[in-house]
Amino acid sequence: MSNGARVAAPNAGRFHRADALARLAEEQFDVLVIGGGITGAGVALDAASRGLRTALVEKDDFASGTSSKSSKLIHGGLRYLQQREYRLVYENLAERQRLLDNAPHLVSPLPFLIPLFGRGGMVNRSVARVYRTALWLYDLTGGMRIGRRHEKVTREQALAHMPTLDADRLVAGFLYWDASADDARLTLAVVRTAVLDHGAVAANHTPAVALTTDSRGKVLGARVAPDGMAPFEIRASVVVNAAGVWSDEVRSLDEGHNPHSIRPAKGIHITVPRQVFPCDIAAVVPVREDHRSIFVVSWGDQVYLGTTDTEWDGPLDDPSCLPEDIDYILAAANAVTTRPISRTDITGMWTGLRPLLAPVEGRHALSERTSDLSRRHTVRTSDRGMVTVTGGKLTTYRKMAQDTVDAVCKVLGRRTIPCVTKGLRLRGAGEGPHAPARAGGIDPDGPMHMAGGAASLARHLAGRYGTETPDVLALAHGHPELLDPLVPGLQYLRAEALYAVREEMACTVADVLDRRTRASLRDARGAAGVAAGVAALIGPELGWDGDRMDAEATAYGNSLRAQLARAGLDPQPAAGGPAPEGADGAAGSAARASEPG
């Protein structure tokens, strides 16, 4: 197969969980991937596109781990230059360019402002020199391939992008270019490409609970316990452990003990309305006391800020955002803006765990701080033939997958089949350069037109579905109510929730509101408020009765409110805000009102 060709594999099927589970139970696979974050998704796509019979299981939802909780940057990592990780930055920037080419609908260039502060109109010369040198290095290491070089900007130009920066101290700034992507949708696009275009079989809500072996102890598959179904075994010649921060748990199924090879590092983000911290690009804000920086990123009608970087030894399934994490971000932001952000401004937040590699004895990290641990990845094959991939970044998933599948080929005892993912376009990317992001595949006479046809809504859909946008809108033909917002004040449509269940394997309210859409990250209280309505919309598709709808909605709403409360934020909507739909928990009646027919 030539690079970039999108040829449907002979057994490429639907992206449907029940179909996938039936095939997982029946067929023999070359590779079984455990973990449906970006790493596992990438491995599945790489293996399937090399022609290997490939299966993937995910214990919760695709991207429900770290891969929906990143800073959403596809970047080289300017700060890694400080750590002299030149090769890492070079590789990251090469991958950034491939993603911009292969998923132009999902990955967009993003300008970053580095504001320079000083006294009496003077900036500290050595600080400016350090930035200038780093930015030249960044450009020369591959940054320039985005088509722009860094530039110095005046105080006024910086203020035009971020009007509330402290104008008394702001002297000038630098502008450089990176890229960003919706991490959960990127992960989903990679899994769907593996399944729909290359014949992989993937199921979410299907944990691997044990490994199966032959009489000599070689790993030959896994036992899985899918939600709503009896456990069964999947047969595969090689098992790949791509379980992120849980990979030591999966390794312990193989090795009999936890190797403690991962040092999880917690990072949180908060979201505020754009008018609270007006900006039209992203910025790097220094945290002086800590020799770190946080990002401020424009995100449609919202702005998100993050991240922290602290060691985490609590439960992996439930990393909490604590009041002190929020304080850290607020202090950093409020040190540079004239419109202080308070807790009551925060509408959403998320907390993730970086699967960092613990330093190996003899090879020292720069310090004990997790922020100084390397973002490189490793691939290792155990004595019993399980391949584990750990570390890395969202940005570098493709290279991680390539290295992993090369190791898989060795275990299979086959000549390495060449990797084809460097030029392989993801679902929704279309064929021409940048085609879907620009055109959006939107029919001007279609239901979008009826909905008012706002250009921003077209951009919203094109940036999420690319060439598949018409399939989402087709659901609203004859059902104009599906063009209503899913959450008041956010752009997501009710049709997107239905599409998520029918075509994107969403199985729960959280799958829809946290990952297929990012409603809860933008407006957690709003998302909690519509849980009943969403359960009523998707419940009939999933075979739920009224009790189940109520239970799913209540559990989801309670979980979001508990997260807000743990972070020291008010779980209730501000007085005067939109009345939460279905606040009385009446999913059944909402169902009757909202059924698409």
Ligand X SMILES: Cc1cc2nc3c(=O)[nH]c(=O)nc-3n(C[C@H](O)[C@H](O)[C@H](O)COP(=O)(O)OP(=O)(O)OC[C@H]3O[C@@H](n4cnc5c(N)ncnc54)[C@H](O)[C@@H]3O)c2cc1C
Q: Which residues bind ligand X (CB under 6 A)?
A: 34-40, 57-60, 64-67, 69-73, 75, 207-208, 242-246, 250, 267, 307, 352-355, 392-395
- Judged by beta carbon, residue 115 or residue 352, the one nearer ligand X is 352
User: How long a stretch of residues is the chain?
Assistant: 597
- Judged by beta carbon, residue 71 or residue 594, the one nearer ligand X is 71
- Judged by beta carbon, residue 282 or residue 448, the one nearer ligand X is 282
Bridge partners of 113? 175, 283
Maximum separation of any 2 CA atoms in the chain, in Å: 76
Query: At closest approach, how far in Å is the CB of 266 from ligand X?
Result: 7
- Judged by beta carbon, residue 447 or residue 463, the one nearer ligand X is 463
How far is C-alpha 67 from the geometric centre of its chain's CA atoms? Answer: 4
Tokens 């992993």 belong to residue = 404
- Judged by beta carbon, residue 306 or residue 447, the one nearer ligand X is 306
User: What sign does the dihedral 465-470-471-474 (CA atoms) show?
Assistant: positive
Query: Could you give the CA distance from residue 321 to residue 564 in angstroms, rounded to a whole number?
Result: 8
Query: At closest approach, how far in Å is the CB of 96 from ligand X?
Result: 9
- Judged by beta carbon, residue 58 or residue 496, the one nearer ligand X is 58
Query: At closest approach, how far in Å is the CB of 267 from ligand X?
Result: 2
CB 472 within 8 A of CB 496: yes
CB 189 within 8 A of CB 426: yes
Q: What is the DSSP string of 313-341?
A: -S-TT-PPP-HHHHHHHHHHHHTTBSS--
Query: At closest approach, how far in Å is the CB of 597 from ligand X?
Result: 34
Query: Could you give the CA distance from residue 80 to residue 142 in angstroms, rounded to a whole number?
Result: 14
Query: At closest approach, how far in Å is the CB of 416 from ligand X?
Result: 23
- Judged by beta carbon, residue 405 or residue 442, the one nearer ligand X is 405
Q: What are phi and psi of 521, to 5 degrees?
A: -75, -30
Residue nearest to ligand X (CB): 37
- Judged by beta carbon, residue 170 or residue 250, the one nearer ligand X is 250
Which amino acid is located at 424 in the chain?
L
Q: Provide the strand spans (E) within 288-386.
A: 292-299, 302-306, 310-311, 348-357, 377-381
Query: At closest approach, how far in Å is the CB of 10 from ligand X?
Result: 27
Query: At closest approach, how far in Å is the CB of 224 from ligand X?
Result: 7
Query: At closest approach, how far in Å is the CB of 41 from ligand X?
Result: 7
**Tokens (6 digits) for 410:** 């060795």
User: What sign does the dihedral 525-530-532-534 (CA atoms) show?
Assistant: negative
Nearest Cα residue to 39 out of 8, 17, 14, 70: 70
- Judged by beta carbon, residue 69 or residue 105, the one nearer ligand X is 69
Bridge-based pairing of strands 232-241 and 219-224 is antiparallel
Cis peptide before 307 (omega within 30 of 0): yes
User: What sign does the dihedral 108-346-521-540 (CA atoms) show?
Assistant: negative
Query: Could you give the CA distance from residue 391 to residue 389 in angstroms, rounded to a whole number?
Result: 7
- Judged by beta carbon, residue 57 or residue 387, the one nearer ligand X is 57
- Judged by beta carbon, residue 40 or residue 104, the one nearer ligand X is 40
Query: Could you give the CA distance from residue 473 to residue 449 in angstroms, rounded to a whole number?
Result: 11
In the chain, the N- to C-terminal Cα span, in Å, equals 43
Burial of 530 from C-beta contacts in 10 A (0-12 / 13-18 / 19+): buried
